[in-house]
């Protein structure tokens, strides 16, 4: 199984997403987080699925996930590693991406 490593900011992103959705429905928040984690596992199994975004972070790939009924998409920014992926951020698609991309993990 491929490994998913979450940067601190990605963990914070998941918590913020959960907190926001839970204001309306705890069940919906839990379902969304479960969905996002499942998508991370799928990306880790096939890391080349994302689109390269060197303008954001050297070596970063971006993959968009979501469901039409949500009226929103989530952008997962990650790097491919030998054992899977390193996730830098998980951002709701309507946000200003450039402004949100701060404190990324350093070069390796």
* Residues 46-73 pLDDT 10s: 999 999 988 877 889 999 998 766 667 8
Q: Smallest Cα–Cα separation from 37: which of 14, 56, 60?
A: 14
Contact 85, 4 (CB under 8 A): yes
pLDDT of residue 103: 58
Q: Specify the DSSP element, H or E, that contains 24.
A: none
CB atoms within 10 A of CB 33: 17
72 alpha-carbon distance from chain centroid: 14
Total-model pTM? 0.85
What is the dotted CATH code of the domain comprising 3-100? 3.30.2310.20
């Amino acid at each position: 199984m491929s490994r998913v490593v979450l940067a601190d900011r990605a963990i914070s992103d998941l918590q913020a997403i959960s907190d926001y959705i839970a204001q309306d429905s705890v069940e919906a928040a839990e379902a969304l987080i479960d969905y996002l984690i499942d998508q991370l596992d799928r990306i880790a199994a096939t890391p080349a699925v994302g689109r390269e975004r060197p303008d954001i972070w050297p070596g970063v790939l971006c993959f968009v996930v979501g469901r039409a009924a949500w009226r929103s998409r989530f952008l997962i920014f990650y790097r491919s590693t030998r054992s899977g992926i390193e996730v830098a951020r998980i951002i709701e698609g309507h946000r200003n991406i450039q402004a949100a991309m701060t404190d990324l993990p350093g070069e390796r």
